[in-house]
Structure 1
Amino acid sequence: MTQHLLAPAEATTPAPLRRSRDFGLLWGGQTVAELGTRISGVAVPLLAADTLGASVFQVSLLTFLAWLPYLLFSLPAGIVADRVDQRRLMVACDLGRAALLLSVPVVALVGRLSLPFLYAVVGLAGVLTVFFTVAYKSVLPRLVPAERLLDANAKLTISQDSAELVGPTIGGVLVGLVGAAKTFLATGATYLVSAVTLLLLRHRPAARSAHARGPLRAELTGGLGFIRRQRILLAILACTTTSNFFVMAASSIEVVFMLRELHASPALVGLVFSVSAVGGLVVGALAGRLTAWLGSARVIWVAMAAPGPLYLLMPLAQPGWGVLLYGIGLAAFSANAVLFNVASMTYRQQITPPELLGRVNAAFLWICFGVIPLGALLGGALGSQLGLRPALWICVLGTWSASLFVVCSPLRGMRDVPAAVAPVRDAVS
């Protein structure tokens, strides 16, 4: 199987990322935004379950609505991201998400907060997140040299897990102190910070010229066509899609499981999510070394297969301190996700032509994230019909099974993916 990785554009060693002003701004802004996202991840289901008295299935609908836009809007978002100034698109999405989240405490203050309103906020914010994510995943290779992509992706992932480490705990504490609705003041502010940092970027990736654009149907399917011709990308896509489906099925019921089955307080729920981030944080810091030790091909399937047995601790969790078993299982998945995502994302960014990257990323999101709302519905349905603990058993076994796609792929017989020269990116900073 022939794959192409970017070779160094120059013989000289590129400058460390700490000297890149643009990457520093992107990294800082996304660290703050990720913190807000993690706080929301606790505040939204707590607001629905505790304040608004939502059922298990109604809470799972929030997850469904948050991820449904990936199924509906990912492919069009890829076209937009390849045609417009990606920085401006990201700023607009950040400002829109901030406005939506800040509306929650305002509506609560006047006594009009309801589940339908919360559904609308979550769904609209999800649409903006789709456009932001496609642009975000496409702009990074234009800001850093190809040789620093793995390091850049690892640093951004470390930020995500750092936010996961403290965000849920902060969210749980804030909900306990000021209430779930007022907690959205903090989450909305984080998106404003992200917008400011993006406005300060100096590099302006050029939009694709009009003469380079093709028919709309070809534009929509261009990313899918490229993936179809890449056997390793197909295996990664199948693995990620299956994992996302079952992970989100579990995520849609896990807060309710901890509240109602394990009798955990909001603060303890936040602590469990924080514990789970430790695995990803440690692995993220070691991603470069682990990749060099295992090999850039081998690390992809090992990251998916090895932590699987620890997932089984999640449905085995019990009330009291036994709830931390859930956190340990989540930590194993976090370690898996970080190492797998860093390696597979770097590989995808390197082999994809710059002018096609937005649509390839969009195609991945359309499939990988498009199944997430279906997984959320499955989780809610299983939790309602079978009970929360049996539903979790199905979800964790399904998550581990996703590793079969990469274990049984050409990656298993390779240590490193072959390197060859590919087109050079627009510019680096």
Structure 2
Amino acid sequence: MTCDSPRGPDTKTVSGGASASGAAVGVAASRRLGREFGKLWTASSTSAIGDGISLTAAPLIASTLTDDPRLIAGVTMALTLPYALFGIPAGVLADRVDLRRSMARIDFFRGGLVLMFALSVAFGWAGLGVMYGCFFLIGTCETFFRNASQILVPSVVADDRLVDANGRLLGAQTAANQFVGPLVGSALFVLAPAVPFGLDSVTFFVSAVLLTRLRTTTPHDRVAPAERPGLLADMTTGARWLMRHRLLRNLSLTAGAINLVYTGSLAVLVVYAHKVLGLGDLGYGVLLACQAIGAVAAAKLSPLLVRRIGGEWTLVCVVTTMAVGDAVIWQTSTAWVVGFALALGACASITWDVVVVVLRQTIIPPSLQGRVNSIYRLFAWGAMPVGAGLAGVVSKGLGATAVYGLGAGIMAAVAVRLVIGARRHWFADAQAQKL
């Protein structure tokens, strides 16, 4: 899971199938936040299970092909590199196309891609090169999909309910992605390595169908096709807007530092679990599942915390908690303590997303959401492949525990920076500018 991510490193934010229990909870959610939000919640929560299954099995396959942490971390690098390469064009396209139709086509493509990868695993063709190529393409699709999905949330929920809606959506996605998914994925991997990916491909196909059933409002100020400037001009417009907005500019750089640490820590977690904690493949899945406890807590805690102490000081608490979590993992080799630290980190990450995503949804003009968000993510997500690569190098040279020690130091420095911003009333100034 990363900052400004409905997930972990990757969930299908507006997608998935519906189980009986998921539908029941979705109906309950819809009574409070609207029927369309209930559809979105049910679909995305169920779909996140498929991603959790696949993203748990991928490092396990890589660890059977090599014991070099740099090559294992390469899977995460391949998945996140497109965020830096294609983030800006994806944001421009998100402001130009029919979002639901484009997202459905992407999910059909990803479903076919993951299905082919599952077959390659089943027949023994899936080497590291095949894995890198497959996950690079998945990440490329996800770059557009994530941008588009966040733009849709304000189209199904009123502005004054965005904190609650994003909290429930992100919390449920993470619980499915990092609790049910890892447990099922690690168990299915033990049964047969290809099965987790086959199941994930099904969720992509179901997602594509359900996207056509979601009814959203269309922003009234989208630029008509005949009036649109060129792609380069569109990119420049988004960059200028973000660079002039002090708060969002600073938050994008801060999110980059956080994602550098968080992605790196997850990229070598399988190595840490096997070599330091002595866990097997199923134990690794259980360790990942511990994050869901924090995600569920965040869904309830984050709106209360924001209302009690404000968004600025909530972010200070978030990053301080992340620093403490990394320090705990650095200093211990007890599995249950590490699981508790991962739960803390997940709770903090979801809370960050709730605060910052809502801030962007309310401050950025609707017609610029895609373009400005793409520039924001260039800084925030562009650090992810760098973090994965650096973590692999550090783990190879100094051991996996060193990754978490360095992460704790970086997070402590970021927390100090956020304290300075909170004392200067960043959020209040931003709201005043908007008014």
The two structures share one fold, judged by TM-score above 0.5: yes
In structure 2, stretches of 5+ residues that fail to align are 1-28
Secondary structure, counterpart of 1:295 in structure 2: helix
2:273 paired residue number: 258
Distance 2:381 2:322 in 1: 22
Give the Å deviation of 1:399: 3.3
Say yes or no: does 1:156 pair with 2:184: no
Match of 1:384 among 374, 389, 396: 396
In structure 1, stretches of 5+ residues that fail to align are 1-14, 424-429
1:45 paired residue number: 59
1:233 paired residue number: 248
Distance 2:271 2:137 in 1: 24
In 2 relative to 1, CA 116–422 (structure 1 residues): closer, same or farther, beyond 3 Å?
A: same
Secondary structure, counterpart of 1:202 in structure 2: coil
1:315 paired residue number: 330
Match of 1:141 among 136, 144, 154: 154
Give the Å deviation of 1:422: 6.1
Give the Å deviation of 1:17: 5.9
Secondary structure, counterpart of 1:76 in structure 2: helix
2:298 paired residue number: 283
Distance 2:279 2:39 in 1: 38
Contact preservation (8 Å) 2:326, 2:404 = no
2:25 paired residue number: none
Mapping for residues 59-208 of structure 1, pairs under 5 Å? 59-163=72-176, 164-176=178-190, 178-203=191-216, 205=218, 208=223
Distance 2:104 2:309 in 1: 38
2:428 paired residue number: 417
Secondary structure, counterpart of 2:311 in structure 1: coil
Match of 2:316 among 263, 287, 301: 301
Distance 2:201 2:411 in 1: 32
Give the Å deviation of 1:269: 0.9
Distance 1:17 1:312 in 2: 42
- Between the aligned residues of both structures, percent identity stands at 28
Contact preservation (8 Å) 2:77, 2:384 = yes
Give the Å deviation of 1:306: 4.3
Say yes or no: does 1:363 pair with 2:379: no
1:335-355 C-alpha deviation (Å, 9 max, x unpaired): 111111101110111011000
What is the one-letter code of the residue matched to 1:169?
A: L
Match of 2:47 among 29, 33, 38: 33
Distance 2:34 2:233 in 1: 36
Secondary structure, counterpart of 1:263 in structure 2: coil
Contact preservation (8 Å) 2:59, 2:270 = yes
Give the Å deviation of 1:380: 0.7
In 2 relative to 1, CA 258–43 (structure 1 residues): closer, same or farther, beyond 3 Å?
A: same
Contact preservation (8 Å) 2:321, 2:344 = no
1:66-117 C-alpha deviation (Å, 9 max, x unpaired): 0000111010001111000011121112122111111122123333222211
Distance 1:245 1:103 in 2: 31
1:329 paired residue number: 341
What is the one-letter code of the residue matched to 2:285?
A: G
1:262-319 C-alpha deviation (Å, 9 max, x unpaired): 220111111111112212211212222221111233322232224532321112332x
In 2 relative to 1, CA 139–421 (structure 1 residues): closer, same or farther, beyond 3 Å?
A: farther
Distance 2:164 2:227 in 1: 32
Contact preservation (8 Å) 1:79, 1:219 = yes
Distance 2:30 2:287 in 1: 35
1:427 paired residue number: none
Let me know the Cα RMSD of the aligned residues.
2.2
Distance 1:228 1:285 in 2: 33
Distance 1:56 1:303 in 2: 28
Q: TM-score, normalising length from structure 1?
A: 0.88
Contact preservation (8 Å) 2:56, 2:185 = yes
Distance 1:422 1:20 in 2: 27
1:362-409 C-alpha deviation (Å, 9 max, x unpaired): 112211111111111101111111222223311232234322332221
Distance 1:304 1:213 in 2: 40
1:169-197 C-alpha deviation (Å, 9 max, x unpaired): 12111112x22222111111222222222
Contact preservation (8 Å) 1:301, 1:412 = no
**145-154 vs 213-222, greater mean Cα deviation:** 213-222
Say yes or no: does 1:408 pair with 2:420: yes
In 2 relative to 1, CA 400–33 (structure 1 residues): closer, same or farther, beyond 3 Å?
A: farther
Contact preservation (8 Å) 1:250, 1:396 = no
Q: Which has the higher contact order (CA 8 A, sep 6+)?
A: 1
Distance 2:119 2:373 in 1: 36
**366-375 vs 183-192, greater mean Cα deviation:** 183-192
Give the Å deviation of 1:240: 0.7
